[in-house]
Amino acid sequence: MTTLLLHGLGNDAFQAMSLLGPVLPADTVAPDVRAHGESTLIGRPEDFELDRLAAELPVPAGPLTIVGISMGAALGLRIAISRPRDVRRLVFVRPAFTDSPLPPNLELFPVLGELLIRHGAREAERQFRGSARYRAVELVSRLGAVGLVSQLRAPLAVERAIRLIEIPRNRAFSSEQELSVLDVPTTVVAAPRDPVHPIEVAQQWADILPDARLVTVPARDDGLPQYAEATRAAVAAALDFPSR
């Protein structure tokens, strides 16, 4: 059975493997999504619909375990819904997308994208750091604020700004009925005090997916090594579940 690892918005396969690679099988497939990492594709707004992004990924045939981080969780969910007979196990780490387009936790991403287009990376960062929105995030999570700033410092940030504007406007799912086809062992991993990945969103996923459990790991602000160790342990335990 092949494991498919999907990274988060503004990150890449290398970052995802750095976090979870130590506990994933050697034959794990970890592609870069359009306008991320090594991908040279950018395109038009409609190219950033989740179903289109999922359809163009090199998803292996046959039985699959899907592991997705943040945006990758939403993409993994879309792939699973489109290929339920191929999916044996699902692991979603810090999901951020919901059944609503542009939920409150993702509202800052289009703001960052527009700042990049209008002002360039350096001035966009200066303006964002000086804003009340930045200070509000920093009060909750210093690393959450750092993560948002990293979107402005990413390679080709200006050229790829469209990803920040369009991808958060997607729904991960439309209804509980749509998810009813996914009756496979599912683990949803959440961390507290994460403004972009609220624990309430992870709880929503765990509540409506047919065979899901929620695992809470330490907040990133309490120590990245502890967060990474606990996240790897949660994923490793999920991969040990008997598949169907």
Contact 19, 229 (CB under 8 A): no
Provide the Cα torsion 189, 191, 195, 201; round to 10°: 40
Express each pLDDT in 53-102 by its tens digit.
999 999 998 899 999 999 999 999 999 999 999 999 999 999 999 999 99
Express each pLDDT in 145-198 by its tens digit.
999 999 999 999 999 999 999 999 999 999 989 999 999 999 999 999 999 999
Q: Which candidate, 37, 33, 23, 29, places its Cα nearest to that of 61?
A: 29
- Compute the average pLDDT of residues 127-133: 98
* pLDDT score of 240: 87
Write down the pTM of the prediction: 0.96
